[in-house]
Structure 1
Amino acid sequence: MYNLPISISSDMRLRFLQDDEKTVASTEKELPLVIEPVKEKSFAVLKALLKESAQWFNKQLDTYGAILFRGFEVEGAEQFQKALELLNIEVESVYHFGSAHRVRITEKVFTSSEAPPDVIIAPHNELNMVPVRPGVLAFFCQVQPDLYGETPIINTEKLFYDLSPSLQHKIGNFPQQFVRYVPNHLLEMVFEDLSPEEITKLLQEQGFDFNWEEDGSISFECSYIPLFSHPRTSRLCFGLSIVDCLVSREWYRNIGQRYSFKQRLYYNLLPAKLYKNIQQRATTTATVVDGSQKRTSTLNAYFLNKDGQSTNMTEAEAKELGQAEWKNAVIFQWKQGDILVIDNLQVAHSRLNTKLKRKILTAFGNMCNIRDMKPALLTTFSNI
């Protein structure tokens, strides 16, 4: 358990989230570290703090996993990007491998998601399905949600050690395999303006197995153990990207009061096998283009057993993981001008359903390669 660090400036106050700022009570009390102004709220004050003490702020990010700058007058994407640059974050201008549509706001700032308001985006570390991913991820609340629209965050080390020894053993010993299919008409969304030759080079550099189809669509896959040691703190990091609707079903169940009676029955009472079949059909529904059917982009995740065969999570494992995610999640209401900076290696994020208006922007940087990380120093399941 950490104590609050000593403030390095009389212009800012350090604290953790108060209970009345959270939508749901949480056992996690020290995520994120909140930094707020004492008197002067202008962006100029925040800019001066970041410029003078970027190294200190990044040390706190390593320690706590997430920092919430709350109460400062941050007005738009340009100031958001500037704040990240003052933290010495190498902000990326391209977003390759994304599985959701985003709108570019500036050269290096995007909308966080264009997913339908009722949909929950399951907990994950950004771009965890590929070897090269952001070390830092950030969000900016430009328009405070009318209702709901939270971005839950989870310390993945605490999540991992909250799982049963048998599930820890499975995650720690059997590689996860990520299999992606992108039809020709969605290549631009996933790879922006890259040519087929440039896509091929990108996949080769990151060690993917891939196959171009005759119609210009592409399939690619990679696998790795999703546990590793944090490069600066040596704490365990659990790369969270379990693509299983039975995991996210637990989230829908926990916020069931936000949905209609019919939807609550669907999430709570439908047999798991039938629920999974319906969800899988819904996510692979054909898209009609010029009278012909083309598959949508798909992402599937499996475990590779000791024989190298692809296996899925069991119903019990998916339920356990979903419940552990919910238990360890910090869920708070966005406020206008909030900047949330996340260590993407040790903290996962999600998105709950929302009622418009809501506009959350995102940016990321400090790219790193999972294959360069040291194995996690595990303290459990050694006797299994």
Structure 2
Amino acid sequence: MGAGEAWKPYEIYPEAGAAGVAGLLSRLDAEADLEALLDREKALVFRGFGVTEERVDAVLDRLLPNRLAYVHGNSPRTKVGRNVYTSTEYPAEFTISMHNELSYAHSWPARLAFCCVTAAATGGATPVVDAALWLASLDDAVRERFAGGVRYTQNLHGGLGLGKSWQDTFETDDRERVDAFLAAAGAEAEWRRDGGLRVTQHRPATVRHPRTGAEVWFNQSDQWHPAALGDETAAALAKLLPADQLPQSVAFADGSPIPAEDVVQVRDRGLAAAVDVDWRQGDVLLIDNLLVAHGRRPFTGARRVLVAMSD
């Protein structure tokens, strides 16, 4: 990327006589240092290789050698294979704002890979944003207020209620396993009389990439704050539940409230700086989960994008 040139994902196409999944696997085998390429480009799009759902495992095995389960994930998904999931199952008419996967958690995946097995009739792009540019786009005062980090609170029901259950969130119905996981993560866990679980975690608002040293915006304050859901949705939730009983909520690390205008700025500037990856059937997108945040544009028709992650 030259000076003054806007960032965008690096696109890779089949070479002559090397199409299809076999061609993609050969291309990946020939890449001397995929990690260095991803450090430099931040996101890679493999187009024209025609990857199908039946063959996606072979590709993911090369891109993500150690695929992770979506444990402690807060978005609704369906597991469809060996640590392969559908992308967030959220109503098609809504935008999913920019975020780094599991940035609210104690540990997060280093890489994400997406595969489009069915492209939407219209829309449905995956916007991606350079997380360092996202951080730089925020007002100085906003960055300063977030400097001390954030506190996330989850209220996970035990089988009936708003949001996800703790069983779905941790992919187990064993309370001892959940307790051990949260203790290792430094999170506070409180089992409720109704069978639910409240989880509280303190996390930084920014992190530095372990190899490039880039400081990036790395939190989901806007997605966890009702103000960023829109006035009507926030008002409806407020009628149903007090703030401390919402499925998820966020505050500054000291417990003080985050101003609504701060999270709206974070949401809107992330989306404004994003570059859309417009899907074609069989495309694969690989991103560095620290350097790049992602989201989803509204769509029509049947869209099916699979996702997997690795450390």
> Is TM-score (shorter-chain normalized) higher than 0.5?
yes
Q: Give 2:225's aligned residue.
A: 244
Shift of 1:246: 4.1
Partner in structure 2 of residue 199 of structure 1? 178
1:83 to 56, 59, 66: 59
Equivalent pair of 1:125/1:349 in contact (CA under 8 Å): yes
* Identical residues among aligned pairs (%): 25
Q: Which amino acid aligns with 1:141?
A: C
Q: Which has the larger radius of gyration?
A: 1
Aligned residue number for residue 330 of structure 1: 275
Report the 3-state secondary structure (helix = DSSP H, G, I; strand = E; otherwise coil) of the residue aligned with 2:65: coil
Deviations 1:23-75 (A, max 9, x none): xxxx973321111113332211111121232x522211111211100111212
Residue 162 of structure 2 is matched in structure 1 by none
Q: Check the 8 A contact 1:51/1:87 in 2, yes or no.
A: no
> Given residue 45 of structure 2, which amino acid in structure 1 is its aligned partner?
L
Alignment CA distance shift 1:130-1:230 (3 Å): same
Counterparts of 1:245-260 in structure 2, within 5 Å, are 245-247=226-228
TM-superposed deviation, 1:318: 3.2
Q: Deviations over 1:299-327 (max 9, x none)?
A: 111113xxx23211242x23432332122
8 Å contact 2:110–2:290 — kept in the other structure? yes
Which residue, out of 309, 313, 322, partners 2:255? 309
1:139 pairs with 2:124: no
Following the alignment from structure 1 to structure 2, what is the Cα–Cα distance between the partners of residues 47 and 60? 16
Q: 3-state DSSP class of the match of 2:263?
A: helix
**What TM-score, normalized to structure 1?**
0.73
- Of residues 103, 109, 132, the one that matches 1:157 is 132
Change over 3 Å in CA distance of 1:281–1:28 after alignment to 2: farther
Q: Which amino acid aligns with 2:196?
A: S
Deviation at 1:118, TM superposition (A): 1.3
Match status 1:33 vs 2:7? no
Q: Which residue of 2 aligns with 1:298?
A: 247
1:136 partner amino acid = R
- Rounded Cα–Cα distance in structure 2 between residues aligned with 1:36 and 1:248: 38
* 1:228 to 2:173 alignment: no
The equivalent of 1:104 in structure 2 is 79
Give the conservation status (yes or no) of the 8 Å contact 1:303–1:313. no
1:279 counterpart residue number = 233
Give the alignment of 1:166-185 within 5 angstroms: 166-171=141-146, 173-185=147-159
How far apart in 2 are the matches of 1:211 and 1:28?
49
Cα distance in 1 between the residues matched to 2:197 and 2:83: 27
- Whole-angstrom CA distance in 1 between matches of 2:183 and 2:151: 17
Change (3 A) 1:219 1:107: same
Counterpart in the other structure of 2:303: 358
**Aligned residue number for residue 60 of structure 1:** 37
Q: Which of 285, 288, 310 is the matching residue for 1:340?
A: 285
The amino acid that maps onto 2:287 is I
> Deviation of residue 285 (structure 1)?
7.6
| 1:145–1:358 contact (8 Å) kept in structure 2 | yes
- What code does the residue aligned with 2:182 have? L
Q: How does the TM-score come out when normalised to structure 2?
A: 0.89
State the 1:88 CA deviation. 5.2
Over residues 167-193 of structure 1, what are the superposed CA-to-partner deviations in whole Å (9 max), with x where a residue is unaligned? 12122x221111111010022221112
**Mapped contact 1:101–1:115 kept (Cα < 8 A):** yes
Quick one: structure 1 residues 79 and 297, their matched pair in 2 at CA, closer, same or farther if it must change by over 3 Å? farther
1-structure distance, mates of 2:169, 2:240? 18
Structure 1 equivalent of residue 50 of structure 2: 73
SS in structure 1 of the partner of residue 38 of structure 2: helix
CA contact (8 A) 1:122 1:248 kept: no
Aligned partner letter, 1:43: V
Structure 1 unmatched ranges of 5 or more? 4-26, 250-274, 288-294, 367-384
1:241 deviates by 0.9
SS at match of 2:23: helix
1:296 CA displacement: 8.9
Q: How far apart are 1:119 and its partner, in Å?
A: 2.1
Distance 1:112 1:71 in 2: 21
**Could you say which residue in structure 2 is the equivalent of 1:48?**
26
Cα distance in structure 2, aligned partners of 1:131 and 1:285 = 32
CA-to-aligned-CA distance 1:136-173 (integer Å, 9 cap, x gap): 111100001101111111111011111121112122x2
Q: Aligned pair count?
A: 301
> One-letter code of the match for 2:233?
Q
